[in-house]
């Protein structure tokens, strides 16, 4: 068991100074004062949190845990991600996806990597499918994957408005999202469709047409890369008033000539009247970050990292002057609510003990995932199996 005392608590809303008791992977108690004398019969580790802040562990809703890429040929495929790379970014929960290559790579690889990350100490789920339509799956039916396999919570990332997309027509897109939605209902999951948004003109048009020609709610779609260029960024200010919008962190500053810096994008979304609860941020890490010329030729290839989310959250607080509680929500509570991740995204009694202790400069001092200390005194003490 673990007692964190005299710490400033953001749950992610600010709650003042609190003592927090952790045990059995969960938050057992939060009080103004918990005395060690009252529980001295238990084996308890004590952390003095004076002068520091306790915040929820981050949830990365779009990360290529089993590798991705391949736009530049076989040698451009990225490897599986290492646990330490995830922990470095303050991330205690991930949602893995396949990405561009649903042709030579398999959803089963992503599923087994998620199972492995769970064994190594963090929480992990995945989307079934890939860019391609019809989507690849584990069982032969992506909806059956969602309904029957615990770790699979939705479909994605399906590519729209992109030259690598299968370009599904409106009836095909409607059918796919409806099939996913029903699977979510049957299994008590979000059943959401994560959408890779490309660079095409009027990028949200396929989603609007699907919603306008069906009974689907717009929040059954979860579009990401909404800061990839100025056009989609401006369109997202309107789309985000009713639908979800996800910012991508890891591709900045690799494409700074046309990408909107995520911390700045968050500020502008809020000023434009986008509800905070509709905004999230993910890394897209460990996937390749390809750049193409006007003829579709690959001219640039980079790879982002999971800690890009934490970098942008810090900049949002320290440079954009957005309050800590608002900034934290886009990588914690909002993600958990949208994806129906039970007992995640907040520090409240009964929830999983996923939290970070940070200092005033937002440096990560300690990380706790499912009640286990992974980083202590700024030192990584947990490693992946082959690290």
Residue positions annotated with a catalytic role: 284
Q: Which residues are paired to 306 by β-bridges?
A: none
Residue 379 and residue 365: Cα distance in Å, rounded? 8
Q: Which residues are paired to 30 by β-bridges?
A: 20
Q: At 144, is the secondary structure helix, strand, or coil?
A: helix
Q: At 277, is the secondary structure helix, strand, or coil?
A: helix
Q: Are strands 364-369 and 2-10 parallel, antiparallel or unpaired?
A: unpaired
What is the rounded end-to-end Cα distance, in angstroms, of the chain? 27
Q: At 333, is the secondary structure helix, strand, or coil?
A: helix
Rounded (to 5) percent helix, strand, coil in the chain: 30, 30, 45
Residue 16 and residue 183: Cα distance in Å, rounded? 41
Q: Does the bond joining 183 to the residue before it have cis omega, within 30 degrees of 0?
A: no
Rg (CA), the chain: 20
- 315-335 burial, b at 16+ Cβ within 10 Å, e below that, comes to bbbeebebebbbbbbbbbbbb
User: Residue 353 CA to chain centroid, in angstroms?
Assistant: 18
Q: DSSP states of 190-259 as a string? A: --EEEEEE-SSSSTTHHHHHHHHTSS--GGGEEEE-TTSSHHHHHHHHHHTTTS-EEEE-TTTTTTTTTS
Closest of 140, 116, 113 to residue 129, by C-alpha: 140
């Amino acid at each position: 068991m673990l007692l964190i005392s005299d710490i400033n608590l953001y749950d992610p809303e600010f709650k003042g100074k609190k003592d927090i008791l952790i045990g059995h992977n969960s938050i057992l108690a939060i009080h103004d004062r918990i005395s060690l004398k009252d529980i001295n019969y238990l084996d308890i580790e004590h952390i003095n949190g004076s002068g520091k802040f306790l915040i929820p562990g981050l949830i990365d809703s779009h990360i290529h845990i089993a590798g991705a890429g391949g736009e530049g040929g076989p040698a451009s495929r990225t490897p599986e991600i290492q646990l330490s790379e995830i922990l470095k970014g303050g991330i205690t929960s991930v949602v893995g996806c396949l990405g561009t290559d649903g042709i030579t790579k398999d959803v089963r690889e992503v599923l087994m990597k998620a199972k492995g990350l769970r064994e190594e100490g963090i929480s992990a789920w995945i989307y079934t499918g890939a860019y391609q339509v019809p989507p690849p799956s584990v069982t032969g039916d992506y909806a059956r994957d969602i309904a029957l396999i615990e770790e699979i919570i939705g479909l994605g990332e399906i590519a729209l408005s992109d030259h690598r997309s299968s370009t599904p027509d409106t009836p095909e897109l409607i059918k796919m999202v409806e099939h996913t939605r029903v699977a979510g209902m049957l299994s008590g999951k979000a059943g959401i469709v994560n959408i890779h948004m490309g660079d095409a003109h009027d990028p949200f048009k396929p989603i609007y047409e699907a919603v306008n020609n069906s009974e689907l709610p717009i929040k059954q779609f979860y579009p990401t890369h909404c800061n990839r260029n100025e056009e989609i960024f401006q369109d997202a200010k309107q789309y985000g008033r009713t639908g979800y919008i996800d910012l991508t962190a890891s591709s900045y500053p690799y494409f700074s000539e046309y990408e909107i810096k995520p911390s700045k994008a968050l500020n502008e979304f809020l000023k434009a009247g986008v509800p905070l609860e509709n905004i999230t941020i993910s890394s897209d890490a460990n996937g390749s970050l390809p750049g193409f010329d006007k003829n579709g030729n690959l001219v640039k290839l980079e790879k982002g990292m999971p800690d890009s989310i934490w970098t942008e959250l810090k900049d949002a607080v320290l440079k954009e002057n957005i309050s800590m509680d608002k900034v934290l929500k886009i990588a914690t509570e909002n993600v958990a609510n949208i994806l129906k991740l039970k007992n995640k995204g907040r520090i409240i009694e009964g929830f999983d003990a996923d939290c970070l202790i940070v200092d005033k400069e937002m440096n990560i001092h300690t990380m706790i995932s499912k009640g286990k200390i992974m980083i202590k005194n700024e030192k990584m003490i947990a490693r992946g199996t082959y690290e």
